[in-house]
Structure 1
Amino acid sequence: MNLESPKVTLDKSAEDTFNFLSDVKNFEKLMPENISKFEVLDADKFLFALKGMPEIVLKKKEAIPNSKIVLGAAGGKLDFSLTADITEVDATKSDVKLTFAGEFNAMMAMMIKGPISKFIETLSTNMSSAF
């Protein structure tokens, strides 16, 4: 299952955007209002939970300076990734698109598609005002 957020244009350089997203503690600023828990576990890993959902641990798996950051599930029963693709528009603007990718059975995919779509859309929307 692959889901994409709408592309957002930020009034930040690609480098500033990359640096912001590279620091996992900044993801707390991007979370939806219904977050019930957020905890930084180490420099590359954080845990979060949304009301009514299980806790999820994400770990930074890959970072390509100023263009891409990949977060992946760290343990748990589900294997998935959340990728932020950063594109430089000019020296003071960048575009960001989030992509969620995971292998799920049909029943699980049907149950989580709506909430995950809304979640990545909220993350990308909140980027505009987070920094």
Structure 2
Amino acid sequence: MNLQSPEVTLDKSAEETFNFLSDVKNFEALMPENISKFEVLEDDKFLFALKGMPEIILKKKEAIPNSKIVLGAAGGKLDFSLVANITEVEANKTDVQLTFEGEFNAMMAMMIKGPISKFIETLTTNMKTAV
């Protein structure tokens, strides 16, 4: 299953955007209002939970300076990744798009598609004020 957020344009350089997203503690500022838990576990790993959903642990798996950050599931039964694609448009204008990728059975995909789409859309929307 592949889901993409709408692309958002930030008034920041690609380097500033990359540095913000590279620091996992900054993801707390991007979380939706219905977050019930957020905890940094290590320099590159954090845990979060949304009301009514199980806890999810994400770990930074890959970072390509100023262009891409890959967060992946760290434990649990589901294997998925959240990719931030960063594209510098001008000196202080950067486009960011989040992509969620995972392998799920049809029933699970049907159940999580809506909430995950809304989640990644909220993350990108919140970047406009947080980054």
Secondary structure, counterpart of 2:17 in structure 1: helix
Cα separation, 1, equivalents of 2:57 and 2:32: 16
Matched, 1:94 2:86: no
Paired with 1:80 and 1:92, the residues of 2 have a C-alpha distance of 31
Identify the residue that residue 64 of structure 2 maps to in structure 1.
64
Q: CA RMSD in A?
A: 0.3
In the alignment, structure 1 segments of 5+ residues that lack a partner are none
Q: Distance in 2 between matches of 1:74 and 1:42?
A: 12
* Offset from partner CA, 1:35-73 (integer Å, 9 cap, x none): 000000010000000000000000000000000000000
Where in structure 2 are the equivalents of 1:1-131 lying within 5 Å? 1-131=1-131
TM-score (norm 2): 1.00
TM value normalised by structure 1: 1.00
Mapped to 1, the partners of 2:90 and 2:126 lie a distance apart of 21
SS at match of 1:108: helix
After TM superposition, the runs of 4+ consecutive aligned structure 1 residues lying more than 2 A away are none
- 3-state DSSP of counterpart to 1:75: coil
Unaligned runs of 5+ in 2: none
Q: Secondary structure at the match of 2:72?
A: strand
Q: CA deviation at 1:24?
A: 0.1
Deviation at 1:84, TM superposition (A): 0.1
Q: Shift of residue 112 of structure 1?
A: 0.2
SS, match of residue 26 in structure 2: helix
The number of residue pairs the alignment matches comes to 131
Q: Secondary structure in 2 aligned to 1:32?
A: coil
Distance 1:113 1:42 in 2: 29
Cα shift readout 1:82-103 (whole Å, capped 9, x = no counterpart): 0000000111110000000000
Q: Percent identity?
A: 86
